[in-house]
Amino acid sequence: MIFRTPFDKIMHNCGIVAGALLLSIYACEGANTTKPLGSSDGIDREAPSVPLGLSADATSDSAMSVAWSPSTDNVGVEGYRIYRDGAAVGLAASASYLDTGLAAGTSYSYQVSAFDTSGNESARSSPATGTTSGGIATGYIYKVGPGRQ
């Protein structure tokens, strides 16, 4: 086959090869010389952007609402992995997560990473810290025993 380009170069022996996730087009200049246009193997190797603007706010004495700005990716973000105090605790499909079953009056540090359908994962976000409400009040003296109120 012979194709004319907008730059008036003659293209020889050009082919279209179906890749794993996308169509790859090979342009050839001269005999047996191939130059891939874009990703030649159709494999996504690009990780999503790091989630930004992370916040952690107590919604009760046992729950924390974690939110962030959505990440971007060349093929699309599949979801987010949420870390509490360094350990993965859940997944979210959108840019927010409700962490429940927490201890009252306790401080927690959160980070989030984004991942795509190819398994590429971003670095973790900067941490955000929040403290659940409730717990024992400090600065008070409690008298315990018979006749004490």
Q: pLDDT, tens digit, for every residue of 15-51?
A: 444 444 443 344 444 444 443 434 557 789 999 999 9
* Three-point CA angle 130, 132, 136, nearest 5°: 130
Q: What is the pLDDT of residues 67-100, one digit of tens each?
A: 999 999 999 999 999 999 999 999 999 999 999 9
Per-residue tokens: 107:
């401080």
Q: Is 142 exposed, middle or buried (0-12, 13-18, 19+ CB in 10 A)?
A: exposed
For the chain, list the domains and their CATH numbers.
2-37 (no CATH), 52-131 (2.60.40.10)
Take residue 59 and report the two structure tokens written for it.
């919604």
Tokens of 72: 């971007």
**Residue 147 clears pLDDT 80, i.e. is over it:** no
Whether the pLDDT of residue 139 is over 60: the answer is no
Query: Is pLDDT above 80 for 144?
Result: no
Task: Give the pLDDT confidence score for residue 9 in this predicted structure.
Answer: 37
Does residue 116 carry a pLDDT above 60? yes
Rounded-to-integer distance, Cα 144 and Cα 79, Å = 51
Name every residue whose Cβ is closer than 8 Å to that of residue 73 and which is 6 or more positions away in sequence: 46, 47, 48, 49, 114, 116, 120
Residue 43 contacts residue 118 (beta carbons within 8 Å) = yes
- pLDDT of 126: 98
